[in-house]
Amino acid sequence: MEISTQAEWLPQVFFLLMGVALWLYVTLDGYDLGVGILMGRATPAEKDILIASIGPFWDANETWLVFAAAILLVAFPLAQGVILTALYLPIFFTLIGLILRGVAFDFRTKAPPQYKSLWDKVFIAGSTLTGLSQGYMLGSYSIGFEHGIHALILGGIMGGFLVVGYAFIGATWLIIKTEGELQKKSIGWTKQFLHWAILGLVLVVLTLSWMSHPFSAQFTSPYIWGLLPVPIGALTLVLGLETILKKLAAGYTRYLWIPFVGAVGMFFLIFYGFSYTFYPYLVPDKITLWEAAASSESLRIILIGVVCLLPIIIAYTLFAHRVFWGKVKELTY
């Protein structure tokens, strides 16, 4: 009986842990990817400030992606083989984008002045490529890794939506970290990309309702009741963000962190919606989390390691943000 119970709840614990890790990755690495995407709209002097705003955080933020991938690998080996095989190319392009970002981040500080703009463009390209590739992966996953023109269309829509979403949360981060004219620009970018994100989200929902059976099935009773918090919460956040952004644009200087918190909330609602839609499947309509899970004995041992490691990751993430909190200073090395 004990073994049977563990076989029931242990996979759900790891499913939750992997989901939280992915959400934290999309949120934390999302804002620094967004800052990289927004560099294309900044002046040369502003680009240094944008880089400085994410300098202490961007590398550590990617830890959450590694953590989520490790859980998938060791806790759900069957699903890991299917998912990584199906997403080989977009994963490859994601890694290329992350490598370009890492190389450009360091090389732009050492390159002669005439080459600095080149490395800035590489950083922007790497950030954009990463967002597009991750969005394509999400789209492909949503329809069970099917192939064809409809899969390309959905992947393109999801890729564009995620790039816009990253730019949106990146702009909210810059509201916190910058001052003066650049902060005003960041408020404008936030308003602009908020509107694009809403439009993109509606387009994604309509497209998924057409292409994905698991997604469209959620709009029938009783499943739809579990999805109601998403539109209600999203509408509340959008109205709140519109209100606070108007105040900030008029010179309001308090609560600059509210847009960022609102963006985090939007990401959470979207992530909750996807998780609710496809649960309990790890591969939509094909493999459940219990079918994909490793043995209970293995999961117990892995859980001990996770319990030891997770507080460390959380602690140094909070510590880094605490130490480097406040307005960004001049970029120096």
In a domain, 328, yes or no: no
Handedness of CA 271, 315, 56, 106 (dihedral sign): negative
Query: In this structure, is residue 306 part of a structural domain?
Result: yes
Task: Report yes or no: 65 and 15 within 8 Å, Cβ to Cβ.
Answer: no
- Structure confidence by residue, pLDDT tens digits, 83-107: 988 899 999 999 999 999 999 988 9
Q: How far apart are CA 274 and CA 139, in angstroms?
A: 11
Judge whether 1 lies within some domain: no
Q: Has residue 18 been placed in a domain?
A: no
Range of the domain at 92: 32-323
Q: Please state the domain count of the chain.
A: 1
pLDDT in tens, 136-183: 999 888 888 888 888 888 889 899 999 999 999 999 999 999 998 999
pLDDT in tens, 186-233: 999 999 999 998 888 888 877 777 766 666 666 666 777 777 888 888
SS3 288: strand
Instruction: Tell me, yes or no, whether 207 lies in a domain.
Output: yes
Would the pTM of this model clear 0.75, i.e. be above it?
Answer: yes
The verdict on residue 205 lying in a domain is yes
